[in-house]
Amino acid sequence: MARNKTSKAWMQEHVNDPYVRKAQAEGMRSRAAYKLQQLAERDKLLKPGMTVVDLGAAPGGWSQVAGRAAGATGRVVAVDLLEMTPVAGVTFIQGDFGEDAVLAAVEQTIGGDGVDLVLSDMAPNISGVASVDQARSVGLAELALDFAVNHLKPQGNFLVKVFQGSGFEALVADIRSKFVQVMIRKPEASRSRSSEVYIVAKGLKVRR
């Protein structure tokens, strides 16, 4: 019964959410699109002609925003384990980017010029065990960071979602060691009760 009440309360909140309504009205795949929009505007992350990789892209809200910003002269590569309905101007690769074959497909699509911006809105499948879910969240962020460090152009930028909790500070310290400027952001479109935050990392340091 308690679970039923929780589900009903979530559905009520979801239906009344202004960003859910806005997404439906504007043809966006998810309310998460507005999180990226707000983060990108604040920290000037997106511009025409960019090469962007969107990790954990499904259902495609972030890819829509990135694709529109990058424009015809840019390139957006979206990657996810789940299927994703095509987004105009975005190349979608289904699979785990940690696997060699999928990574090779991503690299082939990117070409040899490197990436301007790596995005990751990945989240683990929630088990309900807080410590397990937190560890998985940080693990996904670390995978995204590893991809970014190996594929960004010098001075390239990285945006990743993570949940505050165990391992968060160590992750931030690791990112600070690799980027010139690191900010912790919580966009207006992020629900206040959620422990999610976004790490904006600008200016990949040149490895010596």
CATH of the domain at 150: 3.40.50.150
> The domain containing residue 103 runs over which residues?
30-204
pTM: 0.89
Set 8, 161, 178, 202: catalytic member? 161
Residue with tokens 């309504």: 21
What pLDDT score does 131 carry?
A: 86
Q: Which residues of 98-110 are buried (b: 16+ CB within 10 A; e: fewer)?
A: eeeebbebbeebb
In a domain, 109, yes or no: yes
pLDDT of 159-189, one tens digit each? 999 998 999 999 999 999 999 999 999 999 8
User: Which pLDDT band holds residue 10 (cuts at 50, 70, 90)?
Assistant: very low
In a domain, 2, yes or no: no
44 φ, ψ (degrees, to nearest 5): 50, 60
Instruction: Return the structure tokens found at 127.
Output: 């088990």
Number of domains in the chain: 1
Residue pair 88/67 in contact by the 8 Å Cβ criterion: yes
More confident residue, 206 or 140: 140
User: Which pLDDT band holds residue 9 (cuts at 50, 70, 90)?
Assistant: low
Entry field: residues in the chain:
208
Instruction: Return the structure tokens found at 182.
Output: 């690191």
Strand partners, 5: none
- 161 annotated active-site: yes
